[in-house]
Chains A and B, each alone.
Chain A
Amino acid sequence: MLTLVGVVIVVIGFVLRINPLLVVTVAGLATGIASGLGPLAVIAAFGKAFITSRYVAIVWLVLPVIGMLEHAGLRERARSLVAGLRGATTARILLAYFAIRQITAALGLTSLGGHAQMVRPLIAPMAEGAAENRYGDLPVKTRYRIRAHSAAVDNIALFFGEDIFIAIGSILLTKGFLDQNGIHVEPTQLAVWAIPTAVCALVIHCTRLVLLDRSLRAELNRKNESA
């Protein structure tokens, strides 16, 4: 049971909103000590795990390009591009991105997206711009809401698209694990059984996006009338 001390520390830390870097480090060190390692051995194990996980951070390499393009007005351009599209709404922009992201992920093209590369510089400004065109200047809370929805679309479309592609990490991991347990399955079969959930994800989230458009319309019309 002592092994779970790290989990407890993480939960408490996130609830109390202590700096997550500190929480995670303390949780890691505590877990190591609870499993019987000495203090120095725990620090070494943590250092080793941190170094072997460096690939997680490689996405930040896009920042110099994205930053330079933002400096040159990329986000402003993304907004005005949407202004030229009649009939564009926040939900329609996000629906289109959801469909493209899910289909391309299902074809194995999972890198056609991402928060640093696509959502911040292009998708979020477009989704905000579409609402601005219809309702004028947006309250800051509405802006935040649209941005959070933009990020959510990227995640959900990716998660429930990529598992249809046979050579994706999760399918290979599943196959490898079942192989080890003496059960041999074809990756294509695993991929086929991901399709029902993928369709439901599309239906559920797209319904929510349509509702988002309605709630934006109600909220912003009210604001404009009272102003």
Chain B
Amino acid sequence: MITLEHIYWLMGLLMGGVSLVNFRDRTNPRWLNNTAFWGIYAVTFLIGSYLPDIVNGFLVIGMVGVASVRGLGQSKTESADRGEREASASRWGNKLFIPALAIPLLTVLGTFAFKKVTLNGAQLVDVKQVTVISLAIATLIALAIGMAMLRPPPLTPIREARRLLDAVGWAAVLPQMLAALGALFAIAGVGAVVSGLARRWIPLDSPVVVVVTYAVGMAVFTMIMGNAFAAFPVMTAGIGLPLIVQRFGGDPTIMAAIGMLSGFCGTLMTPMAANFNIVPTALLELPDENAVIKVQIPTAVLLLAVNILLMNFLVYRH
């Protein structure tokens, strides 16, 4: 059976390759930092599951040290200039889209197909992780199609992956780091403290105030945690269920559905949701790392207001 562990081996090979390309390219003044950063990251993928927690902890601290002391750099060698790319683009035409679009299409196909496929009665892939495994397999197939079509030098994919990954830099690891922070927040009971504060300082004695507090609380706590999934159980157990549902007789289904969406408004406004808000600024080479958040704030604030109005009208309807 194909499990997440196999996909992590692939990730380890990718990060190891990126580290090696950096090691051999001295045009980057920080080549040693980049080599170490992606090299340690490769180790966490290849053997992280088998190492003691404390060793993994020190590996992470090592990565953070390498990334923050003098920082990471970028190679000065250009992969292909604009003229070369234009020429290649007009040569290949729309065929270039085939491998690119194959990734999402095959991922979707895989998520459906792998649930059905069995080999001697056993599942072919771990169904619980079917989306990420499908994504990984889809990228391998797309890579094969692209290599067969374009016939570049064999090291081109890893060199190009290195160019992109160094452009993203440490931000590539930030979402995973924030997920780890969320786990530590949960262990420490941050959520209970926050909802306790809200209940102590806000006069929650009218149905409207309770709805506003719950929806805004979902958004704000999501901004702190970077993830509406972490905020939902805390706010719903602390404010939603005892006050909206039990005290004022609101409908739990409507409350929960719109409450989660209020959290998503928070996700649009926080650097803590790094994979949605910070990573794209790195991928799109924007100098302001809050550029995407700034564009999203007006829509997020308006939608939060809409959610509050909707919940007020709908939750106490009967």
A interface with B by C-beta (< 8 Å): 1, 3-4, 6-7, 10, 14, 19-22, 24-25, 27-28, 31-32, 34-35, 40, 43-78, 80-81, 109-122, 124, 144-145, 147-152, 154-156, 159-160, 163, 169-170, 173-174, 177-178, 181, 183, 185, 189-194, 196-197, 200-201, 204-205, 208
- Chain B residues lying within 8 Å of A63, measured Cβ to Cβ, are 14, 160-161, 164-165
User: Contact check: which of B60, B280, B302, B310 meets A196 at CB < 8 Å?
Assistant: B310
Across-interface contacts of B253 in A (CB, < 8 A): 178, 185, 189-190, 193
Digit string of B109-141 for contact with A (CB within 8 Å is 1, else 0)? 001000000000000000001011011100100
- Knowing A19-B67, A65-B157, A185-B253 are in contact, say whether A174-B180 is a contact too (CB < 8 A): no
Which residues of chain B are near A170, meaning CB under 8 Å? 228-229, 232, 260
- Whether A3 pairs with B190 at a CB distance below 8 angstroms is yes
B204 contacts A by Cβ under 8 Å: no
A19:B188 contact, CB within 8 angstroms: no
Q: Using an 8 Å CB-CB cutoff, how does the interface string of B71-109 with A read, 1 for contact, 0 for none?
A: 100000001101011111111111011011001110110
Q: Is the CB of A22 within 8 A of B64?
A: yes
B287 within 8 A of A: yes
Assess A69 versus B99: contact at CB under 8 Å? Given A25-B61, A144-B286, A201-B299: yes
Q: A58 to B236: give the CA distance in the assembly, Å.
A: 31
B283 at the interface (CB under 8 A from A): yes
Contact A25 B281 (CB under 8 A): no
Provide the bound-state CA to CA distance between A20 and B252, in Å: 37
**Contact call A68/B160, Cβ cutoff below 8 A:** yes
List, in ascending order, chain B residues with CB within 8 A of A62's CB: 103, 135, 139, 142
Q: Which of B254-306 contact A (CB under 8 A)?
A: 254, 256-258, 260-261, 264, 267-268, 271-272, 274-281, 283-288, 291-292, 294-296, 298-299, 302-303, 306
Q: Is the CB of B261 within 8 A of A174?
A: no
A/B interface sample: 8 pairs, CB < 8 A: A24-B180, A25-B61, A25-B64, A28-B181, A44-B53, A54-B8, A58-B136, A63-B14
A100 to B61: give the CA distance in the assembly, Å. 41
